[in-house]
């Protein structure tokens, strides 16, 4: 907040300086004239331009800071990190009046250093030294703590360590209240102003197949949209496809030659990629064909019906292929191709001309940014045609003015960063983009590498087609599932669903879990590992958590609501407290991603939740132990009565046999039957000896997956050879069906005689 105020003061100072310079420039012109070689005037004008550029940068920065503070202030009650930064910033202002040092609060690297750490002392010492004040970092830290004497609900204590580091320990009672609040109200995103967001991603070219280069843009863009939609923003997903340009001239000319009756009979173009290559070969080798292709472009741009129909036919074939990929990845997009902006391009060129922003350069019309630095935009080519720069300027205007967007996000490879920064700068210069009202981000990403560390390609050196990549992912996922023998316990539909979830989930997560700014190595073997930060590990952890909920029996939601209404959360075990502290960082992670749009931060957080939950699961019982619960009845005249939580039932018919695990109160919780396709396909009959034995193994596997290891069993091996095979398979798999008798130990005072006639020694 202090930096925010400082930047505001700086802006006011620069604005005042600009005003004085403009007055001086005016006076210089009036007194001396407007000679081009006037050195003083040139110097003043250059200084004025430089200051304006600085002002623009500061205004942009302060607009971003304002947007960020809007998020964090609204969510300050939920953001622990934001709250700690606020109180330490206030402490710095009080302890060292007038100092604008930002409070640096981070997560501690070790539990012995607390939960969070304030590392501002060294920076404050440097500022004090510049003022001629000598003070040690530990004294600075102590002075900050002295300003924090008022009890803080979220903090249990502060400690000073090392060179002035302030270790912050969270209050356990505060954590219990926050977790209870989450249980009652649900996990809600931090409150923030709702914005209209346009996200431009994927953007393949018509007549070309989607390849691995489109994978990152599609996955990252879709995930950003999902993230912003979760936060409550109004998100418009735009697919800016390349559906216009000179390449359509050669495609239409080739279509006319190959399928002369295309206007009445739909041409069978199944492989558009091959069709494109054929037309390209003719375009490069045949001058007559090339001339026809250029004529076709002119007629297409002129709107002749037959050429528009040919163009639509080609676009439709591509559109179907694109949609197949999007359906597989569960990605939703609205198509807005280059053709959508054709009429708007003419308007933007006229507006830029009239405003004096365009300059002629070797027959081209170019536009510089405010600082006249870098590479200018080529708005109109020397032949009068438009460029990608033109369509991007038309698009940014359409999205801000027609779509009423507050926030624009472009998801492309990092190589286009300079291009988009120039577009943003020129849009600001043309007053299309207002940095104080709008936010614009270019979300760049690195290239995908093969396991050899080189750009990901096929063995023949061709670009990897996205459809083939997804097919390979499905094959690898099925191999993994078969290796784990999931085909024995899942139906055909369940196995297919698992295959797609694992394949597409692994491909997406492997991309998202890496910092998008870096290149990453694509490896199916690594992404299908069940250890480490992978989708498979997260799916396993999620399955375990869902299994615990299911094994509570009955209606989990109603049972949970009863617990919430009648019980208070107590984080007594250290692993409980550790898990709670990780969960309470959710808001901080969300606010961080809002600033940097880097989803690997979310992946790292989810992975930490899973690993911490695994520690908690190993140390604490999530539900009452899955064994028998028994009480003693009478006066020790017989063995104690055991009332089991679960009992085993076996039901057989003339064709099939079914095993059930029944909860004493809430009914069946696990069921396995030879009627299931996954078992039936391996059996000759559904009720023979092999069927009983196989059923025992499958049933035991499901119980062990659910964490159930002991149960009551009234079946006896003497019930038949088949039942014996079933029970033996269950027990050999690790399930306990009976326990040895437990005799209560005799008391020391009644070893020889009972004290009362009715007390019988055991």
β-pairing, 116-118 vs 105-107, is antiparallel
**Is there a contact between 685 and 601 (Cβ–Cβ < 8 Å)?**
no
CA separation for the pair 370, 242 (Å, rounded): 29
- pLDDT at position 512, please? 96
C-alpha distances in Å from residue 559, one per residue of 550, 563, 629: 11, 6, 20
Tokens of 418: 């300079």
Q: Which of 578, 613, 585, 615 is nearest to 601 (CA)?
A: 585
- pLDDT at position 68, please? 45
CA separation for the pair 509, 603 (Å, rounded): 8
- pLDDT at position 56, please? 57
The residues of the chain scoring below 70 in pLDDT are 1-77, 264-266, 268-270, 458-461, 553-554, 623-644, 717-719, 739-762
Beta-bridge partners for 364: 361
C-alpha distances in Å from residue 484, one per residue of 490, 632, 704: 11, 43, 15
Q: Which of 263, 269, 250, 274 is nearest to 317 (CA)?
A: 269
- pLDDT at position 42, please? 63
User: Torsion over CA of 242, 245, 246 and 249, rounded to 10 degrees?
Assistant: 90
Tokens of 57: 């940068």
- Rounded to 10°, the helix 80-95/137-146 angle is 100
CA separation for the pair 484, 498 (Å, rounded): 12
CA separation for the pair 463, 449 (Å, rounded): 12
Tokens of 17: 């300086």
In this prediction the pTM is 0.73
Mean pLDDT of the chain: 83
The alpha-helical segments, DSSP class H, found in 598-686 are: 600-619, 677-680
């Amino acid at each position: 907040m202090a930096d925010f105020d400082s930047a505001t003061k700086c802006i006011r100072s620069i604005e005042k300086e600009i005003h004085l310079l403009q007055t001086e420039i005016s006076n210089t012109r009036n007194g001396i004239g407007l000679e081009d070689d006037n050195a003083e005037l040139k110097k003043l004008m250059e200084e004025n331009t430089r200051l304006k550029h600085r002002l623009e940068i500061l205004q942009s920065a302060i607009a971003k800071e304002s947007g960020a503070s809007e998020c964090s202030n609204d969510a300050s009650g939920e953001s622990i990190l934001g709250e700690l930064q606020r109180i330490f910033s206030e402490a710095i202002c009080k302890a060292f009046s007038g100092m604008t040092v930002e409070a640096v609060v981070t997560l501690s690297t070790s539990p012995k250093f607390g939960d969070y750490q304030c590392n501002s002392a060294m920076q404050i010492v440097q500022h004090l030294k510049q003022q001629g004040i000598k003070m040690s970092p530990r004294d600075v830290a102590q002075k900050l703590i002295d300003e924090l004497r008022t009890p803080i609900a979220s903090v249990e204590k502060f400690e000073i360590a090392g060179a002035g580091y302030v270790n912050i320990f969270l209050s356990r009672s505060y954590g219990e209240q926050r977790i209870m609040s989450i249980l009652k109200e649900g996990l809600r995103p931090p409150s923030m102003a709702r914005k209209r967001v346009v996200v431009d991603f994927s953007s393949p070219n018509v007549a070309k197949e989607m390849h691995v280069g489109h994978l990152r843009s599609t996955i990252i863009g879709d995930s950003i949209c999902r993230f912003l939609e979760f936060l409550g923003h109004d998100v418009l997903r735009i697919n800016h496809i390349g559906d216009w340009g000179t390449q359509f001239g050669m495609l239409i000319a080739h279509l006319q030659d190959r399928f002369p009756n295309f206007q009445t009979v739909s041409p069978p173009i199944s492989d558009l990629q091959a069709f494109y290559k054929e037309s390209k070969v003719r375009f490069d080798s045949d001058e007559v064909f090339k001339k026809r292709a250029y004529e076709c472009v002119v007629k297409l741009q002129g709107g002749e019906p037959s050429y528009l129909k040919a163009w639509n036919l080609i676009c439709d074939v591509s559109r179907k292929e694109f949609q197949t990929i999007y359906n597989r990845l569960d990605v939703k997009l609205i198509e807005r191709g280059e053709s959508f902006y054709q009429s708007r391009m003419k308007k933007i060129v006229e507006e830029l001309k009239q405003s004096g922003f365009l300059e002629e350069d070797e027959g081209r019309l170019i536009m510089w940014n405010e600082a006249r630095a870098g590479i200018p935009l080529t708005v109109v080519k020397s032949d009068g045609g438009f460029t990608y720069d033109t369509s991007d300027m038309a698009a940014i205007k359409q999205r801000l003015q027609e779509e009423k967007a507050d926030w624009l996000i472009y998801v492309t490879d990092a190589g286009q960063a300079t291009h988009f920064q120039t577009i943003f700068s020129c849009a600001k210069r043309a007053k299309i983009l207002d940095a104080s009202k709008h936010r614009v981000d270019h979300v760049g990403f690195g290239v995908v590498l093969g396991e050899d560390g080189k750009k990901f390609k096929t063995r023949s050196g061709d670009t990897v087609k996205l459809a083939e990549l997804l097919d390979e992912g499905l094959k690898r996922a099925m191999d993994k599932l078969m290796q784990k023998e999931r085909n024995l316990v899942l139906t055909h539909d369940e196995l297919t669903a698992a295959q797609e979830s694992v394949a597409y989930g692994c491909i997406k997560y492997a991309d998202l879990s890496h910092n998008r700014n870096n290149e990453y190595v694509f490896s199916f073997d690594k992404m299908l590992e069940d250890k480490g930060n992978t989708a498979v590990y997260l799916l396993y952890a999620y399955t375990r958590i869902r299994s615990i909920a299911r094994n509570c029996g009955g209606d989990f939601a109603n049972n949970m609501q009863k617990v919430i209404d009648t019980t208070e959360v107590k984080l007594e075990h250290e692993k409980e407290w550790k898990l709670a502290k990780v969960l309470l960082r959710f808001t901080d992670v969300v606010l961080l991603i809002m600033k940097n749009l880097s989803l690997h931060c979310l992946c790292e957080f989810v992975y930490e939740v899973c690993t911490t939950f695994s520690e908690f699961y190993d140390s604490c019982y999530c539900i009452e132990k899955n064994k028998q619960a028994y009480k003693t009845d009478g006066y020790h005249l017989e063995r104690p009565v055991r009332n089991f939580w679960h009992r085993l039932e076996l039901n057989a018919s003339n064709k099939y046999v079914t095993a059930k695990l029944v909860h004493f109160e809430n009914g069946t919780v696990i069921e396995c039957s030879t009627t299931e396709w996954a078992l039936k396909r391996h059996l000759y009959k559904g009720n023979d000896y092999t069927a009983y034995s196989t059923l025992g193994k499958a049933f035991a596997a499901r119980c062990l997956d659910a964490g159930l290891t002991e149960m009551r069993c009234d079946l006896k091996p003497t019930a038949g050879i088949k039942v014996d095979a079933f029970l033996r398979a269950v027990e050999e798999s690790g399930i306990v069906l009976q326990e040895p008798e437990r005799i209560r130990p005799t008391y020391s005072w009644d070893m020889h005689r009972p004290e009362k006639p009715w007390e019988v020694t055991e």
